Structure 1
Amino acid sequence: MTEAGGTGGREVIPLFPLETPLFPGVVLPLHVFEPRYRRLVADLTALPDGAQRRFGVVAIRQGWEVEHVAPAEALYDVGCTAALRMVAPQRDGGYRVAAVGADRFRLLDVLVPTPGAGDDEAGEPPYLRALVEWLAEEEAAEEAAGDVDGLAGAGTTAGVVPDDVASDVARASLGLLADNVRDLFARYVADVAVRQSGAPDGLPDEVLDALSPDDLPDDDAAGEVAATAALLREVSDDARGLSYLVASSALLTTEDRQALLAESATRRRLALESRLLRRELTLLRALGAVPVPLRQFATPMTAN
């Protein structure tokens, strides 16, 4: 088996289906109480020091139950590993777990346990496992994507753009795209906060200033917006981290989030988020309501 993060490498890993995708760098707290997943946590914690204690998180398609249909039909095909960071055994035999999103993968085959699996602790595990292929990020390749064509003929010879010029322009345009998404997300979070708190006047035109607690009449909403502002500052110079923060925190459908997780290029992920945030802002202002509490925005992230 190859190590995680390798391009095209394959490996068998345990699976933990959830209702929503996990993204790299996002903290995942779990209360593990089902016997099969207790066994999963026990198996991981029993690994020797230095081993990778991780499992794959895959989202369940809307309307499906994994137990009642073939797992290959019930699960999306792109997921993210969760690396264990904290395991706290509970009196009832369960666990409180904190994990962090790590590497993206594509499901190639789902290995379903046979009936009675897990009765023998040394035998076949009772949880799903999968053969996965690791998905590489396209950070280097995407720098030139969509930027070189616009430079051809502009002060160049025979339409050939020097590599250093193309790279500089690509990085600058990625920075502008990230700034646009950051501003849209700030406006979006502040808009939700104002509507949650019942303020009738909407938002000021300023985007980042809208994250100031002084603009919000409700203390709880202000505190949650301040937490989101802190996360935005944490990824202020990290376009990839910003893209995953927005993907995991915005009130998007599972399908939208899954599309963002499946996207390997930060540039294209941010471009999709720009369109999605503009759509969501339009819907918020047209409907005047939000579907869930703002606390879902404050998704913990880590640099790992």
Structure 2
Amino acid sequence: MPTELPMFPLGTVLFPGEALPLQVFEPRYLTMVDHCLAQPDRLRFGVVLIARGHEVGGGDDRTGVGTIARITSCRPGGGARLLIGSVGEQRIRVDEWLPDDPYPRAVVTEWPDEPSDVSDAAAGELTDRLAEFADLFARFSVRQGRPALPVPVWADLPGTDGDRGFALARSLPIGAIDRLRVLSAPGPGDRVLVLCDALADVVAALRFRLADPGGAE
């Protein structure tokens, strides 16, 4: 059912299951955190990507798909600043933005994954793209003198196909727009296809950097 939720527009996309640390210092968001902490059943706020504009000061354009974040910790950060720990939970659609007084709010509806199977062909393509990315990323890391981080294997990720898609996306160096495309994919099958496209762009960028003698700069 649609529900009113405090909202925190950011310059990033939050996935379900992803940790989100925040430094809160704007008066409107300090007020929002006070509201959330007032009762145990209020420890949630929505996170959406700012399409245009800035995180501080308002006046931004916001996307209509986001994720509910649950506050897991809160401590003073010095001065009028709070350090918030939170984690993404359920994907949401924004039905209506409400006035930003005293802080951003919206009427939202939870958006569970829609039925969409991951085909063997799509899983195979994603596996191949991941292997190619892992090889190129390892070579690029060596050039930079840094250890290469492990790249997940699709078949080894736990949970449902929907969970695995979000877990994989959390670990990949993809930009905000591709992250939004992953979040906005209706179901697991669609999400895998988006991940394949996003990985193709990352692989192309790595090949270009490796072919450029100055690409490690």
TM-score, normalised with respect to structure 2: 0.82
Corresponding residue for residue 264 of structure 1: 186
Say whether 1:194 aligns with 2:181: no
Corresponding residue for residue 55 of structure 1: 45
Q: Provide the rounded CA distance (Å) in 1 between the counterparts of 2:194 and 2:67.
A: 19
Say which SS state the counterpart of residue 188 (structure 1) adopts: helix
Shift of 1:233: 8.5
Corresponding residue for residue 30 of structure 2: 38
Q: Provide the rounded CA distance (Å) in 1 between the counterparts of 2:36 and 2:124.
A: 40
Shift of 1:90: 2.8
Say which SS state the counterpart of residue 108 (structure 1) adopts: strand
Match 1:87 to one of 74, 88, 102: 74
Look at both structures and tell me which one has the larger radius of gyration over its CA atoms: 1
Say how many residue pairs are matched: 213
Aligned-pair Cα RMSD in Å: 3.0
Aligned-pair identity (%): 26
Q: Which amino acid aligns with 1:86?
A: S
Corresponding residue for residue 278 of structure 1: 200
Corresponding residue for residue 83 of structure 2: 96
- Conserved? CA contact 1:16–1:128, under 8 Å: yes
Q: Which amino acid aligns with 2:130?
A: F
Structure with more strand by fraction: 2
Change (3 A) 1:236 1:184: farther
Corresponding residue for residue 142 of structure 1: 116
Q: Provide the rounded CA distance (Å) in 2 between the counterparts of 1:233 and 1:291.
A: 32
Q: Which amino acid aligns with 1:18?
A: L
Match 1:129 to one of 97, 105, 115: 105
Q: Which amino acid aligns with 1:250?
A: L
Corresponding residue for residue 15 of structure 2: 23
Q: What do the CA deviations read for 1:3-22 (whole angstroms, capped 9, x no partner)? A: xxxxxx20110010111111
Which ranges of structure 2 fall in alignment gaps of 5 or more residues? Answer: none
Say which SS state the counterpart of residue 100 (structure 2) adopts: coil
Shift of 1:276: 2.2
Q: Provide the rounded CA distance (Å) in 1 between the counterparts of 2:203 and 2:88.
A: 28
Corresponding residue for residue 203 of structure 1: none
Q: Provide the rounded CA distance (Å) in 2 between the counterparts of 1:58 and 1:179.
A: 31
Q: Provide the rounded CA distance (Å) in 2 between the counterparts of 1:247 and 1:81.
A: 17
Q: Provide the rounded CA distance (Å) in 1 between the counterparts of 2:94 and 2:5.
A: 10
Shift of 1:246: 3.0
TM-score, normalised with respect to structure 1: 0.61
- Conserved? CA contact 2:68–2:88, under 8 Å: yes
Q: Provide the rounded CA distance (Å) in 1 between the counterparts of 2:104 and 2:27.
A: 13
Q: Provide the rounded CA distance (Å) in 2 between the counterparts of 1:232 and 1:263.
A: 18
Q: Which amino acid aligns with 1:129?
A: R
